[in-house]
Structure formats: C-alpha cells, structure tokens
Amino acid sequence: MKLLRHGPKGQEKPGLLDAKGQVRDLSALLPDITPTTLSPAGLAALNSVDVNALPVVAQGTLAVPWSGMGKFLCIGLNYADHAAESNLPLPKEPILFMKPISAAVGCNHDVVLPQGSVKGDWEVELGVVIGSTARYVSEADALHHVAGYCVVNDVSEREYQIERGGTWDKGKGCDTFGPVGPWLVTADEVGEVQNLGMWLDVNGKRFQTGNTKTMIFNAAQIVSYVSRFMTLYPGDLISTGTPPGVGMGVKPNPVFLKAGDVMRLGIEKLGEQQQHVHAWNSALIDA
C-alpha cells in the first residue's frame, strides 16, 4: 500500500494511492494515519479492505504521510562515496543524529532557508518507518519492525552544521528541513529495499545519482543498531544517509541553495518530491 495524508494543514485526511494513481479516501475507516495504523494489526486491517470500494477523491496538498511521528532520526556518512567527497573517513559505526519533529513537512512544501543562511544543501535519503516497538533487536529480526519506507530530503545548512561548533543538529533541524513523502510505501510492496535507485536535481540539473545497495550500513543494521541506544516506537522515522552529489562536495567550487532554486528528487518505488527554496519567511513555515 501507498499511504498518504492530504489537505490543508490541521485538516489532513487519510488516503491511499491505488494501482491507477488515484487517491482513495480512508476517512470512513479511520480518522487519520497514526502510529497505531502502522502497527502490524493496523496494516493487516487495511490490507483486508476492498480498495475499489473506497471513494476516489481529488488529491489535496500532501502532508507527512502519517501523524504522530515521535522521533526523526538520521544516519550520517552512510555511503562510501559521499564520505569521500566530504573528505571524511568511513565511519566504524553508524553516525546518529536527530532532527526535531518541527523540521518535518510534506514532500512539496517550500523549503525556507534560515536567517543568515549561506550554505544550504540537499540530500536525497531512504526513510525507514517503524511499525512495531524495537528494543535490542537483532539484524535478522530488525526489518520485521518496519512498517514501510519513504523519500526524505535531509536539507542541511553546512555552516551551521560544521563551522559553528557543537553537534550537527543545528545545521539539520531548521524548520522545513525535512520533507517527507509523498507517501509511505509498506514494506511488502517495496520488497528488496537494498536495491533502489535514487536521484536529486536542482534547477533541472542532476546532482545526485545513487542506489541503496551502496549503503555502508544497510536498513536492517541501522534499525538494530539504533535500537541498542533507544527504544524505537511505531511512527518513528530513520533517514539512512545520502549518496554522493551534495552541493558541499561539488568541485572545484561548492554549490549551495539560494532563494528561487527548485529541488526535485525521488527513489525507485517510493515516489518523487519537489521543493521551491525561499529566503527566510516565517509565513511560509506556518503555511
């Protein structure tokens, strides 16, 4: 299934995308797509529904595909060629950091650069969405705790991240710096998650081309690893790192985001996103 939420902010309605690309309304079955929906029992209940009996509705503005995200976790430098372009050694263990939930927005929401931003950057990433509580799980069992997968744009401000001291979080957690979606694709529909093509364009120019098969730590390893440091609950999101081609890595001169830029990105089987980049404007953040 491809689960989604759409409509005005604060009035989002649950839906799913059928085989013809039509949005089918789930409002009569559940008020929202929540962590409970993403549990094994919740997904099993939806799987039993006759999709063709659900009403077709016009798609509104796409929101984060589920509500109630508890944690927005991220893995850094998880592709060997991206580590190389960043002039950093390969990590011996996954590098873990967090975005605040306030960074998460819908897949086509405007990205708003923070005040004084000079080094905004892009990162297409595979998102792993937890469906059942995971605590000290083995790699062999880890993916049984995954509800599905999604596209994430791990937008970054490199000056804040690297040059301002402390942790990465302040360069990763700005408002609008975590577009998610367009939908959550359940694990059964994705199949082999470690062989998905991924790409990102800025203003129509291809910057990132990669595949999840080149991840240093795969999805199962990441879920198992993170579950050793904190309990993962349904609705938690782990963004798993980016392939090469980020703006910071462009040679000889890095390329950074500016107002008026358009990012377009996607992952095989998981859909596409598009964001327009704006200078600081608090009204766009709250839109």
Q: What is the DSSP letter of 20?
A: T
Task: Decide: residue 183, CB within 10 A, 0-12 exposed, 13-18 middle, 19+ buried.
Answer: buried
φ, ψ of residue 104 to 5 degrees: the values are -75, 130
Question: What mean pLDDT do residues 247-256 have?
Answer: 94
pLDDT in tens, 47-88: 999 999 999 999 999 999 999 999 999 999 999 888 887 777
Question: What mean pLDDT do residues 12-27 have?
Answer: 97
pLDDT in tens, 211-239: 999 999 999 999 999 999 999 999 999 99
pLDDT in tens, 169-187: 899 999 999 999 999 999 9
- Cα 71 from chain centroid (whole Å): 12
Cis, bond preceding 35 (omega within 30 deg of 0)? no
